[in-house]
Structure 1
Amino acid sequence: MAENKSRAELKQAKKKTKKKAGSTKSLFKKVIIAFLILGIIGMLVGGITFFALVKDAPPIDEALLKDPVSSKLLDKDGNKFAEIGVEKRTHVQYQEIPKLMENAILAVEDIRFYDHYGVDLRRLVGAVIANFQEGFGAEGASTLTQQVVKLSFLTPDKTVERKVQEQWLAIQLEQKYTKEQIFEMYANKIYLSSIPSYGQVYGVASAAEAYYGKKLNELEIHEAAMIAGMPQSPNRYNPFDHPEDAEKRRNIVITLMAKHGFITEAEAEAAKAVPVASTLVQTQKDPQPYDAFIDQVLKEVIELGDIDVSTAGLEIHTTLDPAAQTYVEQALNTNDIIEYPNEEFQAGVALINTQTGEIQAIGGGRNSTVARGFNYATAINRQPGSTIKPVIDYGPAIEHLQWSTYHQIVDEPYTYSEGQPIKNHDNKFKGQMSIRQALADSRNIPALKTFQEVGSERAGEFASTLGIRVGDVFESHSIGGFNGVSPLELAGAFSAFGNQGIYNKPHAVTKVVFMDGSEVVLKPKPVTAMKESTAFMVTDIMRSVVTSGTGRSANISGLPVVGKTGTTNFPADVKKKYNIKNGGVNDIWFAGYTPLYTAAIWTGYDTPEKGYILSPDEKAIAKQLFKEIIQKVSEGKETGEFVKPNSVVQVAVEKGSNPPKLPSEFTPDDLIVKEYFIKGTEPKEVSEKYRKLDVPSELIAAYDEETNQVTLRWKYPDDQREGILFDVQYSVDEGPFELLETVGELGLIVQNPIPEAIYRFRVIAYREADPENRSDPADIEIQIPALSLEDELDLIPGEDDEEVEPDPEESEENEGETGDGNGNDGSGGNGNGGSGNNGNN
């Protein structure tokens, strides 16, 4: 029975197993069907999405592939002033491109170029792996065909739509043209940066000429690799500007050439050993008008991405003011406006709109003989000297510490935190002063003290927000002891003070319109860099620089001009090496602004070998340039005024009070200054330093019969005597008071008073520096006794008395005066009173 049951159970188990197996097969079939359905749906959705993305792709235009379309540059009013791309190019046919050059390009850009159909799926995966294994940039994801499409038809924006369109057009391009034709297009289209001596470089043949002065077939391995590696980031890998980055990139290309068998390992090592700059040359082309401004335009457009400006057919809207640019170039390149000392003297000028940051004109340098040569307005990296003090010292102090324009600081012997002495430009110390005076006189010690109170972190942040590259901030930054600043950067920083604290990055391009009608707006977004109160108060302090400080010669009558001077000195070892005379300096700056325009000027020499600034006339050129340019561009324009915000109050302060105090009614007028305070921080306490003067005390009048004179004496507190004078007045027989004499002593002798007259004497104290602040009077009365007969007879002239001849030069007004025989003045001609001599007490 048990055995039968076991068999039954076994049969039942087998039935269940079969049923389970059938169920599993059914589930698997359902999963497969589901995946097939999802796949079909995915393909349909993908196809629909793909065609939706490519439906707006531009057509393949043969003219755009073969003939470059120049880009037009428009000024601020929409008028064309330049065209980029109309110059002759060095075009090469495919058969003229040496295999070395072709192999270098293929190794780094598209090793499977001759194997794919425009889009290389294997290369997409390979690029990711290569970037991990050999470093970022070893291989790109786009094929050469895709790059030709991107350079010819598409905008640089990196979107999924554009990437899909790029791949779609690349497939079409491969169907229409041979591989050799496409390679030829690429080799002639690529942008390869620009160099001052040549201009913009397009295509491998032009690059061979511009960088090495060679024909394409004369290039060596390291040179071909250098050119092949540049298209990924042309400006970053420019060997003139960034030799270290360029050499790293070149060596990556050489490594890839060896990896793919185009050169041997030995050839690769030999090529890597050649310094990147060893065979570079400088060739020249003729310069064109406005080249310094165009140079800035191209920099800004290139930042958009991989754009070949000379072939992209762009419409570039710029901020150029042609009249201002012309005047700036005239001011730099002739002696009609400024008298320059020699041909080597250089200058850089940046003129921008204070309210918008739009670059109106750029003076890139003097006497340039090359197309878009070195730009002294945008490319220099010089120490800014004292022009940086508003940016890194006083601006942050007002912003973060709520200092007033009156804030007191002591100019005294001082050292940096590490103990090194700091000096002022005149090697003198002026004691306690306001930050207004400290900046106007460009005192270094108050600047360092201000920086120390602000702190390096806040000072650095404040400067960085204004576009100044400061890096790690040290105490030497407080007086401009750091590299580096360009006139354009400095102008941008200063303009924020004149624009209520709003910083607009200086820019030359407002928008770029592409051939397909799309456009990119390039106006930078405004940044609130500081409070309105800070901007206004720093501005007002800098007004003193041009009205009473170191920048007086930059002041312009009728315009609200402010600014700051700056000077940098040579290190001691440089002075010794080049035998630089005392007073010789390295750089002279001036930066300033009105509500409408901001300009920053640098002047100096390239190197000490070429010269240095020494004479007063040379030192004044930066200020003269600023004055002439701002005056010219402001003609006929409504400049406006700097508007005080409600957060700022102007308060009269007693000069020298610390902390600040309000003047009293007795404070001398010349010791009252008006300064600005952030509302709520203004002084409330009234100064008592110049209170109403005390009345002279213990006034006595004593008559001496023997000498017939009255002696007046009084007292005054010793601690208040400094600078005090006393008016002594008299009245005879109740007549009006008249001034007898003004003395600085505490007494007076009145000689020969009128007998029997009643004299009233009055003594009033006042401060010599402030005659209006007078004490109440101290009065005393005395009656002069009658003279005896003997005394009266002594007054009658006798025959023994010697006559005194009158002085023929004495004026008629003094005819009534006589002497007393002792060299003292006698009584007045009308007999109403006598003058006296100072007492000796």
Structure 2
Amino acid sequence: MANEYRSREERKRLEKPSKISNKSEGLWKKITVTLLSIVIVFILIGVGIFSYLVSGAPALDESKLKVPLSSTIVDKDGKVVAELGREQRTKVSYNEIPKVVEDAFIATEDVRFYKHKGVDIRRVFGAVLANITGGFGSQGGSTITQQVVKNSFLSSQKTIKRKVQEMYLAFKLEQRYSKHQILEMYLNKVYFSNGLKGRGVYGVAKACETYFSKDLSKITLPEAATLAGMVKAPNSYNPAKHPTQSQNRRNTVLSQMKKYGYITEEQYTTAKAIPMKSLVKVHESGGTKYNSFIDVVVNEVEKNSDANVYTDGLTIETTLDPKAQDKADEILSRGKSFYPSDEFQTGFVLLDTKSGEIRAVGAGRNTSTGGLNFATDIKRQPGSSIKPILDYGPAIQYLKWSTFHQILDEPYTYSNGTPIRNWDRKYKGNISIRLALVDSRNIPALKTFQAVGSDRSREFGNGLGFNFSKNTYYESYSIGGFTGVSAMEMAGAYAAFGNSGIYNKPHSVKKIIYPDKTEKVFATEPKQVMSDYTAYMVTDMLRDVVKTPLGTGKRANVPGLDMAGKTGTTNYSDEVKQKYGFPDNATRDSWFIGYSSDVTMAVWTGYEKNKKNNFLGKGSTNIAKYIARDMLAANGDRNAIFRKPSSVEEIRNELYIRGEKVDDIPKDIVIESAKNVKANYDPVTSNISLNWTYPANLLQKTSFEVSYTVNGAAGQTQKIQGTATSINGIVPGDIVKIAIVAMSAEGKSGPVTVTVDLSSPEQPTTPPVNEGGQGNGNGQGNGNGQGTGNEQGNGNGTGEGTKPGDQTPGTGGANGDNIVNPIVPNPKNPH
């Protein structure tokens, strides 16, 4: 038979199903079931996670879709000083939005806006890839609908939960509103930088009015592209403040519009060729009180977070000192009695020396916040004000120089053979770095820079907040021959000298609090960028800049304030002077940076643009000093002093690093002492007023160091130019001992001491007594006391020296102690 098998075994094998086949089918079934189970589990987990993430999502509150949330700004003490976001808005309907505006924003922000359902899946996958390569938060992939949701209901923090809630609410928003309604919401809510009076500009209609002074219906293609470009970084692309950056961003938008067919090649070329400065015509009215400071706050929040000050309903805790800012605003508002012209500009910053917190900002004269900020945005050559940072600070830090280290001031050149000159075209021979800095000598500064080396000089400067590049760091930097620095940067750098070498980056924001009560702290990290001996020794030299007659900053001195500081000026090139008819001695920039251990003040003055008569003359170069003086006088703590660290030792009025080899000790030369010292106590003001006399022909080159103790405790040492000062905070019962030492470039005198004894309620009326000390002559004194020195006394007593006929000068001992018996008011009949 045809169907017969060849054998019984063959029949069994062919008629029975294969065990291997059955086993294979069973294995695949198991795999399929397992995979399906895993998929189901992941789906359930995903659904669970999604449900959890969206469970706290806010409801679609229609009122929040229409009105941006305002932010509250509080000062350093928690007092509300401004509320931003309630104004600067003009609402328009979709039918009032020009097509060119719609096209520009869609091409830039969401090209598939009319195709997706709230979330653009293609953009999401692109964002995921960017976040994998650049870290989470590097790209958001948000559609216009998502941006409406985020700005209306959510914080700007980049978290997975917020992103999921944003997508979820975007889908819901698209179900409730039409595309035209959503686009209308977006274009009425979108933020366009802080305006020119401190208030946020939001909505395309208000932005068009603010930056182009026209109604939205008349907007042009390049103007629409400019506004669309601002959305990415509103303050950075502000056309009034940063025209170059704004123009580059506008051209990117135009390129996108051409790419997606919204404009032709010809339209693109024509619009791109229009300069940004020709488009901008700012118009704005009203504003907040502290708009100069708020400008800095808004920029800082924008730079360090994803929050929007004018739409996110934040509470912003700032470092603002209203008293200091009021003084800054008063200085800026001064007229022609103080400033030489309306175009004369200044930018300045007041910092807390210890923390780097910004207390006040002078953004410029006759300007509005949102435009160019002359305290932070303008970069100008610092001139000699850079010398402590790039020359003498590094020399003390790395080379261990003393303040008396000698440098030969002589004809000299840069390494390439270019001559370098001092400001007075003169040379002083061997001088100390103290005198070189006080008199702002250029040649010693360059020699110091060369001794330190450019690498260590640059390292020291970068530690103080600058960003000097190794490839473009030249010897001319030693005297400020580079562009440029801002007043904010200079304030931060100098504050480190007054803070024992600790640098804090200047900052205006402590923290921001979101509507959901989450917080973001704006912490700064203090950095020890130099030794405490470097900070103090530089500070002590800079004291002489403001406290001695030779110092270039003496006009900035605040009597009674232990302060230090440095001037800086720059000149125009010969070509500029010839082009605009400037005189040979015309100055371009004038700086003064002054500080105490309490506050630091950096001031720049000059003109924004070169034109006829826009230069600083001899008198106007001093305005920077007067501004600093007035701000420091109003805000500096008279009881704050620079304390000498244990790492510093003083030898004959010069400072040395303790433990380092001393081989440059100054000669002990005795100069004329103060005479006829008078001290008067006023119980009404709790002040002791001091005055004395000094030879008129010596007074111009002499300063006086006034130190004192109150009941044995040391008070603040003052360096005085002139023959009068006061000591504050003295009360009945105190015993105050005062010492006055005359100082000049040649040497110093012995101390003249005075005691004001208020320990007894009733004082005798005997006159002051001079307890004579060592003199320096052989003639008679002219006071009321007895001298017991080695030579004839030259104090306020009759000298009875042991060698009345000897012509040998004395060795500089004390000239006498004047015991002052003040008149204390009768408690029964007070003054």
- Using structure 1 for the length normalisation, give the TM-score: 0.73
Q: CA deviation at 1:79?
A: 1.5
Alignment correspondent of 1:350: 349
CA distance in 2, matches of 1:496, 1:655: 19
CA distance in 1, matches of 2:634, 2:452: 38
CA distance in 2, matches of 1:95, 1:670: 86
Q: CA deviation at 1:390?
A: 0.8
Q: CA deviation at 1:589?
A: 0.9
CA contact under 8 A between 2:408 and 2:444: conserved in structure 1?
A: yes
SS of 1:620's equivalent in the other structure is helix
Alignment correspondent of 1:697: none
Q: CA deviation at 1:457?
A: 2.3
CA distance in 2, matches of 1:131, 1:512: 25
SS of 1:232's equivalent in the other structure is coil
SS of 2:154's equivalent in the other structure is coil
CA distance in 1, matches of 2:479, 2:262: 56
Q: 2:380 aligns with which of 373, 379, 382?
A: 382
Alignment correspondent of 1:179: 179
SS of 2:72's equivalent in the other structure is strand
5+ long unaligned stretches in structure 1: 672-726, 728-765, 774-841
Aligned ranges for residues 95-106 of structure 1 at < 5 Å? 95-106=95-106
CA distance in 2, matches of 1:129, 1:164: 17
CA distance in 2, matches of 1:643, 1:654: 15
Amino acid at match of 2:457: A
Alignment correspondent of 2:411: 413
Alignment correspondent of 1:299: 299
Amino acid at match of 2:75: D
CA distance in 1, matches of 2:614, 2:74: 39
SS of 1:106's equivalent in the other structure is helix
CA distance in 2, matches of 1:422, 1:520: 51
1:465 aligns with 2:463: yes
1:259/1:21 Cα in 2 relative to 1: closer, same or farther (>3 Å)?
farther
1:427/1:50 Cα in 2 relative to 1: closer, same or farther (>3 Å)?
same
CA contact under 8 A between 2:198 and 2:294: conserved in structure 1?
A: no
SS of 1:69's equivalent in the other structure is coil
CA distance in 1, matches of 2:267, 2:131: 24
CA contact under 8 A between 2:364 and 2:375: conserved in structure 1?
A: yes
Q: CA deviation at 1:440?
A: 0.8
Consecutive aligned runs of 4 or more in structure 1 exceeding 6 Å deviation = 5-17, 127-132, 137-140, 653-656
Q: CA deviation at 1:450?
A: 1.3
CA distance in 2, matches of 1:654, 1:138: 55
Alignment correspondent of 2:320: 320
CA distance in 2, matches of 1:330, 1:654: 40
CA distance in 2, matches of 1:113, 1:296: 35
Q: CA deviation at 1:20?
A: 3.2
Alignment correspondent of 1:558: 560
CA distance in 1, matches of 2:461, 2:478: 11
- Mean Cα deviation higher: 547-556 or 303-312: 303-312
- Using structure 2 for the length normalisation, give the TM-score: 0.74
Alignment correspondent of 1:362: 361
CA contact under 8 A between 2:464 and 2:496: conserved in structure 1?
A: yes
Q: CA deviation at 1:464?
A: 2.0
CA distance in 2, matches of 1:296, 1:19: 81
Amino acid at match of 1:399: Q
Q: CA deviation at 1:427?
A: 0.7
5+ long unaligned stretches in structure 2: 673-777, 779-805, 813-831
SS of 1:73's equivalent in the other structure is strand
CA contact under 8 A between 2:606 and 2:616: conserved in structure 1?
A: no
Amino acid at match of 2:63: A
SS of 1:586's equivalent in the other structure is strand
CA distance in 1, matches of 2:490, 2:8: 100
Alignment correspondent of 1:611: 613
1:668/1:49 Cα in 2 relative to 1: closer, same or farther (>3 Å)?
same
CA distance in 2, matches of 1:607, 1:316: 35
CA RMSD of aligned residues (A): 3.5
1:503/1:14 Cα in 2 relative to 1: closer, same or farther (>3 Å)?
farther
CA distance in 1, matches of 2:305, 2:186: 17
1:386/1:67 Cα in 2 relative to 1: closer, same or farther (>3 Å)?
same
1:585/1:287 Cα in 2 relative to 1: closer, same or farther (>3 Å)?
farther
CA contact under 8 A between 2:379 and 2:484: conserved in structure 1?
A: yes
Alignment correspondent of 2:492: 492
Q: 2:595 aligns with which of 593, 596, 605?
A: 593
Alignment correspondent of 2:476: 476
CA contact under 8 A between 2:109 and 2:144: conserved in structure 1?
A: yes
Alignment correspondent of 2:166: 166
Alignment correspondent of 2:108: 108
CA distance in 1, matches of 2:286, 2:199: 9
Q: CA deviation at 1:486?
A: 1.5
Q: CA deviation at 1:282?
A: 2.9
CA distance in 1, matches of 2:480, 2:623: 20
1:639/1:355 Cα in 2 relative to 1: closer, same or farther (>3 Å)?
farther
1:239/1:511 Cα in 2 relative to 1: closer, same or farther (>3 Å)?
same
SS of 2:279's equivalent in the other structure is coil
Q: CA deviation at 1:201?
A: 2.7
CA distance in 2, matches of 1:351, 1:498: 14
SS of 1:81's equivalent in the other structure is strand
SS of 2:296's equivalent in the other structure is helix
CA contact under 8 A between 1:53 and 1:161: conserved in structure 2?
A: yes
- Mean Cα deviation higher: 480-489 or 103-112: 103-112
- Mean Cα deviation higher: 510-519 or 105-114: 105-114
SS of 1:350's equivalent in the other structure is strand
CA distance in 1, matches of 2:560, 2:122: 71
CA distance in 1, matches of 2:450, 2:664: 28
1:463-515 deviation digits (Å, cap 9, x = unpaired): 22222343432111111111111112111111111111111111122111121
Amino acid at match of 2:231: P
Aligned ranges for residues 668-707 of structure 1 at < 5 Å? 668-669=669-670
CA distance in 2, matches of 1:630, 1:440: 20
SS of 1:462's equivalent in the other structure is helix
Alignment correspondent of 1:428: 426
Amino acid at match of 1:595: S
Q: Which is greater in Rg?
A: 1
Amino acid at match of 1:61: D
SS of 1:122's equivalent in the other structure is helix
CA distance in 2, matches of 1:129, 1:354: 45
CA contact under 8 A between 1:197 and 1:283: conserved in structure 2?
A: no
1:64-104 deviation digits (Å, cap 9, x = unpaired): 21122222211122112222122241111112112322222
CA contact under 8 A between 1:285 and 1:371: conserved in structure 2?
A: no
Alignment correspondent of 1:253: 253
CA distance in 2, matches of 1:7, 1:242: 98
CA distance in 2, matches of 1:550, 1:51: 70
CA contact under 8 A between 1:344 and 1:611: conserved in structure 2?
A: no
Alignment correspondent of 2:208: 208
Amino acid at match of 1:345: F
Alignment correspondent of 1:341: 340
1:13/1:572 Cα in 2 relative to 1: closer, same or farther (>3 Å)?
farther
1:24/1:250 Cα in 2 relative to 1: closer, same or farther (>3 Å)?
farther
SS of 1:225's equivalent in the other structure is helix
Aligned ranges for residues 644-723 of structure 1 at < 5 Å? 644-652=644-652, 660-661=662-663, 668-669=669-670
Q: CA deviation at 1:448?
A: 0.9
1:23 aligns with 2:23: yes
Alignment correspondent of 2:507: 507
Overall identity of the aligned pairs, in %: 47
Amino acid at match of 1:607: K
CA contact under 8 A between 1:212 and 1:280: conserved in structure 2?
A: yes
Alignment correspondent of 2:448: 450
Q: CA deviation at 1:771?
A: 6.3
CA contact under 8 A between 1:653 and 1:662: conserved in structure 2?
A: no
CA distance in 2, matches of 1:343, 1:377: 18
CA distance in 1, matches of 2:16, 2:435: 103
- Mean Cα deviation higher: 474-483 or 46-55: 46-55
1:217-249 deviation digits (Å, cap 9, x = unpaired): 333333323322321222333344444543443
Alignment correspondent of 2:742: none
CA contact under 8 A between 1:75 and 1:320: conserved in structure 2?
A: yes
1:185/1:625 Cα in 2 relative to 1: closer, same or farther (>3 Å)?
same
Amino acid at match of 1:352: L
